[in-house]
Amino acid sequence: MKKQIILPALVAFVVSALTFGGFQYFQNNNKTIQIEHVNATPSSSVLYAQDKDGDFIPMDFTKVAAQTTDAVVHIKSTSTRPTSQNLYGQGQQIPDIFERFFGPEGVRPQQPQRPQRPQNPQARVGSGSGVIINKDGYIVTNNHVIDDAEDIEVTLYDNRTFKAKVIGTDPTTDLALIQIKEKNLPHIPFADSDNIKVGEWVVAVGNPFNLNSTVTAGIVSAKGRSINILREQYAIESFIQTDAAINPGNSGGALVRLDGSLVGVNTAIASPTGAYSGYGFAVPSNIVQKVVGDLLEYGTVQRGYLGAMIRGVDANLVKEKDLSVNTGVYLEKITENSAADEAGLQAGDVVVAINGNTIKTNADLLGNIAGYRPGEKIDITVNRGSKEKTFTVTLKNKSGNTELVAKESLALSQKLGAELQTLEEDVAKKLGLRGGVRVTKILPGTLRKSTNMQEGFIITSVDGKGVRTVEDLEKIVERKDGGVMVEGRYEDSDETFYYAFGLGA
């Protein structure tokens, strides 16, 4: 037994002595011990996912990163906006909802509907991302990234910089289209966002915290999300939710599938700190494509409206109304002479599908309708009294007809530096007016430079000539040269206001 114990101990002692002695020998003789490194693993892709055909594809993020990073740009926007003091007394500062998510990125707070005296103009610089969508320099981004900007600078992946011009904006979806003067640019093709599935891998590309060309990966966490971040009256929220890391500066960047196609434009994060905490939101590419198409063709978004007050179906509503379905959109009230009214929809109907697409939430309904223009027809399936019925609905515009916005009115908007809209009939009736033109948005240009007019102002006459529609205003202003006096009022005031400014021929 003693031999069996002593022999292993002796062997261990000899091995230890040789190891220590060898180390001392090499150290004392200044020898270098060479350690071999493996430069490549036997397999570069060990994870796989299935495509729509059931085929296995390697989850290689390097390929999609290489395909997309040079088509995502950095945007710097500069605006000069005065601090304002209300002429009726106390100055007002309205918090900006986007600053909770992105910091002060050039977003214009909603102004109170009272004339204000500008004071102490201050330069404001914001930054974000954008996606090149074709070789001719068209770039889609978020409206809040370039809103109110007087100077927009775009930096490409190769560090070239260009000045950009705004082609059009759509605050209701927080999208904007800009262009730089450059050809043959790398770009990202659109995917069909309706086909993306929850759980599918996606990659976010952008410039968070001014760190250019940052790529993060995650999955689609949910679809058709509404987070009530857009404060526009007719806001469309039907976001793709993802856990790919999105931070301030990512806004306007790309959310892409593994094949490199654009499935969304990153817009917001939900975070108590203002930095990534697991919840990012992107505008689906199908909505982006519709908005971009309208802005290119018309200069403004052509949006169809159903004409109904809606409410999402939940357990309380099912019990309250004794509904036979647990999901869908409840039509609480139908507007008279609206698209819904003329198609035969009724209050109490529950919308369950549009053109065969299942509708479970308000966001689903708004996102689907957002893809259509006034005059286009859609099939709406509703649950009525435990039975399903399908109605063909011809969508209308906000004014209650099927007309598209005329291209001619775009020249007027550019001349005045404002977005204009014929006053809704019901509002005109409530205010005791025969008509008018509402200034829905004031852009960098004549009105901003020469007046303190606020958004929401209703123009009722120009140089003493009555104005009922945008067309009336256009005819008066079209060949006007020199001084102009406009008269009107604000919806929440009985007072008449006058603004004077100059126009060139």
Residue 9 pLDDT exceeds 80: no
Q: Kindly provide the b/e burial profile for residues 346-376, where b requires at least 16 CB atoms within 10 angstroms of the residue's own CB.
A: eebbbbbbbeeeebbbbbbbbbbbbbbbbee
CA separation, residue 313 to residues 112, 221, 324, 431 (Å): 35, 22, 11, 35
Per-residue model confidence as pLDDT tens digits over 394-441: 999 887 888 887 665 767 887 888 888 889 888 999 999 999 999 988
CA separation, residue 456 to residues 111, 181, 435, 487 (Å): 9, 34, 14, 13
Look at residue 2 in the predicted model and tell me its pLDDT. 46
Look at residue 96 in the predicted model and tell me its pLDDT. 39
Per-residue model confidence as pLDDT tens digits over 138-192: 999 999 999 888 899 999 999 999 999 988 889 889 999 999 999 999 999 999 9
Per-residue model confidence as pLDDT tens digits over 479-499: 777 889 999 999 999 999 999
Look at residue 6 in the predicted model and tell me its pLDDT. 54
Residue 40 pLDDT exceeds 70: no
Look at residue 93 in the predicted model and tell me its pLDDT. 34
CA separation, residue 296 to residues 153, 267, 291, 411 (Å): 21, 21, 9, 14
Higher pLDDT residue, 91 or 301? 301
pLDDT (mean) for 298-310: 90
Look at residue 90 in the predicted model and tell me its pLDDT. 29
Per-residue model confidence as pLDDT tens digits over 240-256: 999 999 988 899 999 99
Per-residue model confidence as pLDDT tens digits over 82-105: 544 332 222 233 333 333 344 443
Look at residue 477 in the predicted model and tell me its pLDDT. 87
Whole-prediction pTM value?
A: 0.73
Q: How confident is the prediction for the chain on average, in pLDDT?
A: 82
pLDDT (mean) for 279-299: 92
Between vectors from CA 283 to CA 279 and to CA 284, what angle results, nearest 5°?
Answer: 110
Residue 30 pLDDT exceeds 70: no
Look at residue 426 in the predicted model and tell me its pLDDT. 87
pLDDT (mean) for 124-145: 93
Q: Cα–chain-centroid distance for residue 438?
A: 24
Range of 39-48, 96-105, 309-318 with top mean pLDDT: 309-318
CA pair distance 69, 212, nearest whole angstrom: 9
Per-residue model confidence as pLDDT tens digits over 210-242: 778 899 999 999 999 988 888 777 788 999 999
Start-end of CATH 2.30.42.10 domains in the chain: 308-394, 408-503
Active site includes 174? Answer: yes
Active site includes 44? Answer: no
Higher pLDDT residue, 399 or 388? 388
Smallest CA-to-CA distance from 255 within 423, 40, 246, 247 is with 246
Name the band, by pLDDT with cuts 50, 70 and 90, for residue 21.
Answer: low
CA separation, residue 367 to residues 136, 253, 398, 405 (Å): 29, 20, 17, 21
Look at residue 28 in the predicted model and tell me its pLDDT. 52
pLDDT (mean) for 51-69: 81
Q: Tell me if residue 197 falls in helix, strand or coil.
A: coil
Element containing residue 2 per DSSP (H, E)? helix 2-28
pLDDT (mean) for 71-81: 88
325 contacts: CB under 8 Å, gap ≥ 6 = 313, 318, 350, 352, 383
Smallest CA-to-CA distance from 165 within 419, 504, 443 is with 443
Q: What are phi and psi of 486, to 5 degrees?
A: -105, 145
pLDDT (mean) for 440-469: 90
Looking from the CA of 502 toward its CB, the CA atoms found within 13 Å total 2
137 contacts: CB under 8 Å, gap ≥ 6 = 162, 179, 180, 181, 182, 183, 185
Domain 308-394 sits in which CATH superfamily? PDZ domain (2.30.42.10)
Within 10 angstroms of residue 341's Cβ, the number of other Cβ atoms is: 17
- 55-301 has CATH 2.40.10.120 classification: yes
Active site includes 144? Answer: yes
* Sign of the Cα pseudo-torsion (14, 16, 20, 22, in order): positive
Name the band, by pLDDT with cuts 50, 70 and 90, for residue 386.
Answer: confident
Catalytic residue among 170, 174, 349, 364: 174
Catalytic residue among 74, 79, 144, 226: 144
CA pair distance 206, 214, nearest whole angstrom: 5
Residue 202 pLDDT exceeds 70: yes
Look at residue 334 in the predicted model and tell me its pLDDT. 96
Residue 278 pLDDT exceeds 70: yes
Catalytic residue among 77, 79, 251, 285: 251
Domain 408-503 sits in which CATH superfamily? PDZ domain (2.30.42.10)
